[in-house]
Structure 1
Amino acid sequence: MTSVKEQAAISRLLSFLQEWDNAGKGRRAQILTKFIGTNEGKTGPELELEFSQGASLFLIRLTTWLRIVYMTGLDLEKILRSIGIFLCAVSSNRYLIEFLEIGGVLTLLEILGLEKIKEEDKKESIKLLQIIANTGRKYKELICESYDFPVFLSFLTRILARDDLKLAEELLHMRVVHSLMSAMGNTDHSNSQRLASLTLEFFVQMFPLVEEHVRKSMGEELFQLFLVSISIPPASAVAQDGTGPLVHRVKLVS
């Protein structure tokens, strides 16, 4: 039998969820501000205690709201930060899985591909993608299953077409180069091969460490064939005086 204390906690949870469901855009923004201030840094068990073992019910609502409004850019930073509280929480693997199953990863990728979205919001989106990717191989595989790779390449090429070096550097930490090289070897999808090759070209041109990584992975003979096929000079052969854009360097994550 549920105790009086437990019944009161459940009643508070239901009241909170009902308030969220009935709230307009302005009120939801206020709820998110309070949620972030109250719960940032909490562990999974602490969040469950806060939400009477029903924290997932709010995460589902946050993800659904994100999918509804992300194209408008409305309160994106607050929504993403709120979701990040769940994904960052210690002992919160369940939240990660739930977010992936709802389609959260594809939404984050779509945010990166929208020109009208503010850079601050895109950075928050990248932070969440990094959290997921860094959790472990299991979650990297779940990410791969969550999106159509040709669609992802389309988003990626739009980002790189804007010469957004900051976003490009962040994407390198998500092992994008590894994924691109894998796609280039997939003979069953010629369009994906072409897009992957063009995107990898950008990274090889802009980041000398990427050139080094790709050269080692492909082998010298195949790497030279790759350079010929895309008709570009290797980054190591360009502007050694520190004046050109090719001097940008990032640490690759293996």
Structure 2
Amino acid sequence: MVTLQEKPRPFGRSGAPDWLSGCEPELRVLQAVRWEGGELCVGRMPPVKEQEAVSRLMAFLKEWDSGNKVVRKRIMKDFISFNKGKTGPELEQEFSQGSSLFLARLTTWLKLSYMFGTCLSEILQSISVFLSATCSNRYKVEFVEFGGILILLEILGIKLVKEQQKVEALKLLQTLAATGRKYKELVCESYGVRAVAECLAKARSEETQEQAQVLLETLAQGNPKYQTQVYKGLIALLPCASPKAQQLALRALRPVQMIVTEAHPSIVNPLLAVLRTMHLEIQNEALQLIKYLMCTEVRPALLKGLVASLRPSRKESGKVRPQILDDPNVPQMTESLPVFIQQAAAAKAIGMLARESTELCHELIQLRVIHNLLFAMGNQDHMESQRQASLAVEYFILSFPVVEDQVMKAIGENLFQMLLDNADGLYMKIDNIQADILRSNQVNIPGVKEVTE
């Protein structure tokens, strides 16, 4: 028979409560394990040790049941520090095969108190010890059967809950989702995609937003039943007011798009609208997604939208602020600036795509991209539009002789030579007359259907 080496535990020493009397037979006998001669030997715990283990467990549960908030908080902190990182079998040994009794108490208190935030961090961290343990599938089943997924999702939407507590809830959901497809489906069936997406959009800390993004990506992987729902949820985040949420949604859309494979048409307009952002990191994420989407069904719509963005409507580009709102001591931003930022980003995207594929170049030329790029070159209200458009036009000129000939005819030899000499700095040299020539250009590429302006 093997004698177990006892470890000091921060549990109470009081006797068992009345309601637990008679429960000893229901507690499975702790198995003692040791190595002997290179072989694993398993033996039953001696009756005395068995009784001591059961008594210690019941004393611990009695201390929890009779303790107030302060006592329970201490118990949870001791439990976390002493058991974090343990495996499922080790937790079973620690609780004399009664660990589920403590998990049930934690989950019950979570259900009763999460609306008020009472010891919420400690409860979530204690539950995490169980769910994140190796060989802990039984704990996950018990937690889910008790309604744990719904509770965690509700925590994400409560304004009074601290951001760090929402992070803990998101990590628990990640742990469950990473276990397998069934758990991912359970989260999604509980309206989890919507709850997590709203958390990502409204969270006040970047850590919360990042954890929400990770969870959404996890829910899309290996979950064919709900992967499209996750995909559409990410698309719905693109117009949100939080720049960080936009960036994370764009970042998640690329891998999720690879999973879904077929691009949904609803992605086109929100993605093009994101190009109006003043945040370069968001714009770069959008450009990378546009680049990837060129191999999907939305390619024609995206190309058409990019070319159209080079020539905003008079209504959009002519917006001005009332002078009474202007402070002469503060740099001004006209209402048309987002449109011009989008114009510059579209020119940049077109230049990037043109360098990727000759086939894309031909498609863009058929959409009258040269005409609209020259128009953008004449936008003296936004230098970046002029610069990006000039660089894109230069590439088309150097790549296609027919474009070279027609552009020279449309803008004149002098301006054409200035473009070839220094496309990157042309915007600093053109005058008002040359800018007007660019805006009113009538370039005519053979084979391209002309459109009346």
Shift of 1:231: 4.7
Kindly state the Cα deviation for residue 161 of structure 1 after the two structures are TM-superposed: 4.2
Residue number in structure 2 paired with 1:209: 251
Considering only CA atoms, is the larger Rg found in Structure 1 or Structure 2? Answer: 2
Deviates more, 1:36-45 or 1:209-218: 209-218
Residue type of the alignment partner of 2:229? A
Structure 1 unaligned blocks of 5 or more: 186-192, 250-254
Letter in 1 for 2:252: V
How far 1:168 sits from its partner (Å)?
3.1
Contact 2:88 2:136 in 1 (8 A): yes
Shift of 1:9: 0.8
- Aligned partners of 1:71 and 1:111 also within 8 Å: yes
Q: Which of 83, 88, 92 is equivalent to 2:132?
A: 88
Report how far residue 121 of structure 1 moved: 0.9
1:133, CA displacement in angstroms?
1.8
> Which letter maps to 1:35?
F
**Distance change >3 Å, CA 248–CA 111, structure 1 → 2:** farther
Q: Report what 1:189 is aligned to.
A: none
Residue 107 (structure 1) shift: 1.1
SS in 2 for 1:111: helix
2:65 alignment partner in structure 1: 21
Give SS of 1:173's match.
helix
The code of the aligned residue for 1:198 comes to A
- The residue number in structure 2 matching 1:30 is 74
Letter in 2 for 1:37: S
Q: After superposition, where does 1:1-254 map in structure 2 within 5 Å?
A: 3-135=47-179, 137=180, 140-145=181-186, 148-149=189-190, 151-162=191-202, 164=204, 165-176=206-217, 178=220, 181-183=227-229, 198-199=236-237, 205-207=246-248, 208-213=250-255, 215-216=257-258, 222-223=263-264, 225-228=265-268, 231-233=270-272, 235=274, 237=275, 243=280, 245=282
* Separation (CA, whole Å) in 2 of partners of 1:174 and 1:70: 21
| Percent pairwise identity | 38
Of 84-93 and 157-166, more deviation after overlay is shown by 157-166
Q: Root-mean-square deviation (CA), in Å?
A: 3.4
The alpha-carbon deviation at position 158 of structure 1 amounts to 3.7
Deviation digits for residues 66-117 of structure 1 (CA, Å, limit 9, x no counterpart) = 1111111111111111111111222222112211111112211111111111
State the distance in 2 between where 1:73 and 1:215 align.
37
Equivalent pair of 1:59/1:86 in contact (CA under 8 Å): yes
CA distance in 2, matches of 1:218, 1:9: 52
Secondary structure, aligned partner of 1:233:
helix
Distance 1:85 1:175 in 2: 23
Structure 2 CA distance for aligned equivalents of residues 51 and 110 of structure 1: 30
Using a 3 Å threshold, how does the CA distance of structure 1 residues 162 and 172 change in structure 2: closer, same or farther? Answer: closer
Provide the C-alpha distance between the structure 1 equivalents of 2:200 and 2:174, rounded to a whole number of angstroms. 18
Going from structure 1 to structure 2, the CA distance change for 1:214 and 1:33 (only over 3 Å counts) comes to closer
Which whole-Å CA distance do the structure 2 matches of 1:4 and 1:214 have between them?
57
Q: Would you say how many aligned residue pairs link Structure 1 and Structure 2?
A: 232
Cα deviation for residue 197 of structure 1 reads 5.8
1: CA distance, partners of 2:108 / 2:171: 19
Which secondary structure does the structure 2 equivalent of 1:10 belong to? Answer: helix
Secondary structure at the residue paired with 1:123?
helix
Q: Return the alpha-carbon distance in structure 2 between the equivalents of residues 118 and 29 of structure 1.
A: 17
Q: Which amino acid aligns with 1:233?
A: L
Tell me how far 1:206 sits from its aligned partner: 2.9
Structure 1 residue aligned with 2:444: none
Larger RCO: 1 or 2 (CA < 8 Å, sep 6+): 1
TM value normalised by structure 2: 0.45
CA contact (8 A) 2:152 2:170 kept: yes
8 A Cα contact 2:61 2:102, kept in partner: yes
Contact 2:247–2:281 (Cα < 8 Å) also in 1: no
For the residue of structure 2 that corresponds to 1:74, the secondary structure is: coil
**Unpaired segments of 5 or more residues in structure 2?**
1-24, 26-45, 287-453
CA contact (8 A) 1:100 1:146 kept: no
C-alpha distance in structure 2 between counterparts of 1:244 and 1:14, whole Å: 56
Residue identity matched to 1:183? Q
